[in-house]
């Protein structure tokens, strides 16, 4: 007999019951929104301005521990338990369900937001394409689930909740380190090393220590544009190599977890090839991707870069790659990109001319080196904590998969009959 033999096979309708409670005169209740990562949150935390109708009387009321479903985005995991307030308002297009007796809300939340159910949502959704797919009310309620006895549900929820608490603490450490890093970067790039400068000067980028110079990026570095895809290649001269996309260039590090390849002429390896010490910059996209970059450490040889990723090759006699990357990621660096970028709704981009014209502070070489080493100590701690976080997420995936399937049983006070 399998370890999960005492689990009951049923459907979602045996765990949830829909209700149509509307706001009516309670339109002053707080507005709520579903997020893929965080579940249910206050709408004010997610949106800077209200995206709701002026008339909230038709909005649905979601009470604490009830489940809210966005039928248009359920395929992407948009289902959440309402744990934010005693009662709040959600879109009239959402569906709200109260939990049935004998089902633990914590367990059901982990189950319905887990990878197995997300796969079922995607398979069940119907539409002309993924982003226009919808899951009908009946199809959602008919999805199969398996439930252990209530005591085991509660124990599983408690275990997974404790794992989440550990993850949240690591997230908090990372967030605090980022605050410290931002403050320290601002201080070092506007006042220089502590005790080294007694005077400062005002420049076009703001306050700068006396003794530093200001240069255009094109005066201290070479800017290399990337390769566009789609060019026809002669088979005799073709070579397949990995290349960096915008998705690979993160804020402060390179993500090589998913690399794609490109067939190019051999001559392109010299023209578009990366070298150790190059500083990578993204052309744009969403505002958070604008000017995002890091230093290339030669992790893959050879490796090219797409035309939406710029490569900046600093002159070592003027500026260190690490110093340039730290400045570009600073408040001033990001402000330059946002100020000169071409912006449309939710999108922003820079071109190579704007990148070349970027003003760069240039401290003496020894001071650059000390600033880089000071900030690197925080970066190293951040990298270590991100590694811990990745391990914790992997552990949660493994543990939740085993517990929510019943492959691994937990001890409960109540005996399970054989």
| Residue 1 confidence (pLDDT) above 60 | no
Same domain, 125 and 218: no
Q: Note whether residue 61 is domain-resident.
A: yes
Q: Note whether residue 208 is domain-resident.
A: no
Q: Note whether residue 388 is domain-resident.
A: no
For the stretch 341-377, pLDDT in tens is 777 656 778 889 999 999 999 999 999 999 999 999 9
Cβ neighbours of 206 (radius 10 Å) = 13
Report whether 235 contacts 373 (CB < 8 A).
no
Report whether 325 contacts 374 (CB < 8 A).
no
Q: Where residue 225 sits, what CATH number does that domain have?
A: 3.90.220.20
Same domain, 355 and 223: yes
Same domain, 126 and 241: no
| Residue 250 confidence (pLDDT) above 60 | yes
Report whether 113 contacts 38 (CB < 8 A).
no
DSSP 3-state of 249: strand
Q: Note whether residue 340 is domain-resident.
A: yes
Q: Note whether residue 162 is domain-resident.
A: no
Same domain, 226 and 358: yes
CA gap 66, 84 in Å, rounded: 11
For the stretch 162-218, pLDDT in tens is 999 999 999 999 999 999 999 999 999 889 999 888 888 899 998 899 999 999 999
Can you give the pLDDT at residue 277? 94
Q: What is the DSSP string of 288-320?
A: GGTT-EEE----SSS-EEBTTEEEEEE-TTT--
Can you give the pLDDT at residue 35? 87
Q: Note whether residue 170 is domain-resident.
A: no
Same domain, 243 and 334: yes
For the stretch 272-315, pLDDT in tens is 999 999 999 988 766 666 777 789 999 999 999 988 999 999 99
Helix or strand run (H / E) with residue 342: strand 342-344
CA gap 167, 161 in Å, rounded: 10
Same domain, 126 and 35: yes
Same domain, 143 and 218: no
Cβ neighbours of 303 (radius 10 Å) = 21
Domain count, the chain: 2
Q: Note whether residue 178 is domain-resident.
A: no
CA gap 168, 152 in Å, rounded: 24
Helix or strand run (H / E) with residue 144: strand 144-147
Same domain, 137 and 218: no
Last residue of a domain, one of 147, 172, 203: 147
Same domain, 221 and 355: yes
Same domain, 96 and 226: no
Same domain, 233 and 135: no
Same domain, 91 and 218: no
Report whether 40 contacts 80 (CB < 8 A).
yes
Q: Name the phi and psi angles at 76, rounded to 5.
A: -100, 15
Last residue of a domain, one of 104, 127, 147: 147
More confident residue, 202 or 1: 202
Last residue of a domain, one of 338, 362, 386: 362
Q: Name the phi and psi angles at 195, rounded to 5.
A: 80, -5
The domain in which residue 119 lies consists of 8-147
pLDDT average, residue stretch 10-22: 95
Can you give the pLDDT at residue 391? 95
Q: Note whether residue 202 is domain-resident.
A: no
Can you give the pLDDT at residue 53? 64
């Amino acid at each position: 007999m399998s370890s999960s033999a005492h689990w009951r096979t049923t459907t979602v309708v045996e765990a949830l019951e829909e209700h149509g409670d509307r706001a009516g005169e309670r339109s002053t209740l707080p507005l709520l929104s579903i997020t893929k990562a965080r579940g249910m949150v206050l709408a004010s935390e997610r949106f800077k301005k209200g995206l709701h109708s002026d008339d909230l009387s038709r909005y649905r009321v979601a009470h604490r521990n009830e489940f809210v479903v966005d039928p248009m985005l359920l395929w992407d995991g948009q289902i959440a338990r309402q744990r934010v307030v005693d009662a709040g308002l959600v879109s009239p297009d959402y569906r709200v369900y109260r939990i049935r007796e004998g089902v633990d809300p914590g367990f059901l939340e982990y189950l319905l937001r887990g990878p197995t159910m997300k796969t079922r949502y995607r398979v069940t959704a119907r539409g002309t394409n993924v982003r226009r797919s919808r899951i009908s009310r009946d199809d959602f309620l008919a999805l199969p689930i398996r439930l252990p006895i209530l005591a085991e549900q509660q124990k599983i929820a408690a275990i997974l909740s404790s794992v989440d608490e550990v993850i949240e603490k690591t997230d908090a450490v990372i967030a605090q380190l980022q605050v410290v890093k931002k403050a320290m970067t601002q201080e070092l790039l506007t006042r220089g090393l502590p005790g080294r400068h007694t005077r400062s000067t005002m420049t076009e980028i703001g306050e700068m220590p006396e003794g530093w110079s200001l240069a255009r990026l094109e005066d201290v570095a070479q800017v290399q544009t990337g390769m566009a895809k789609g060019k026809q290649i002669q088979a005799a001269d073709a070579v397949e190599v990995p290349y960096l996309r915008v998705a690979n260039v993160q804020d402060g590090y390179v993500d090589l977890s998913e690399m794609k390849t490109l067939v190019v002429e051999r001559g392109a390896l010299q023209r578009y090839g990366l070298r150790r010490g190059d500083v990578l910059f993204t052309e744009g996209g969403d505002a958070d991707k604008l000017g995002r970059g890091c230093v290339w450490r030669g992790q893959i040889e050879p490796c090219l870069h797409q035309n939406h990723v710029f490569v900046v090759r600093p002159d070592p006699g003027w500026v260190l790659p690490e110093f340039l990357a730290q400045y570009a990621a600073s408040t001033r660096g990001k402000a330059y990109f946002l100020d000169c970028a071409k912006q449309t709704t939710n999108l922003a981009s820079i071109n190579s001319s704007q990148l070349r014209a970027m003003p760069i502070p240039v401290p003496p070489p020894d001071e650059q080196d000390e600033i880089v080493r000071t900030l690197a100590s925080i970066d190293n701690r951040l990298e270590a904590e991100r590694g811990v976080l990745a391990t914790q997420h992997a552990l949660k995936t493994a543990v939740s998969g085993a517990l929510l399937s019943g492959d691994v049983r937990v001890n409960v006070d109540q005996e399970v009959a054989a």
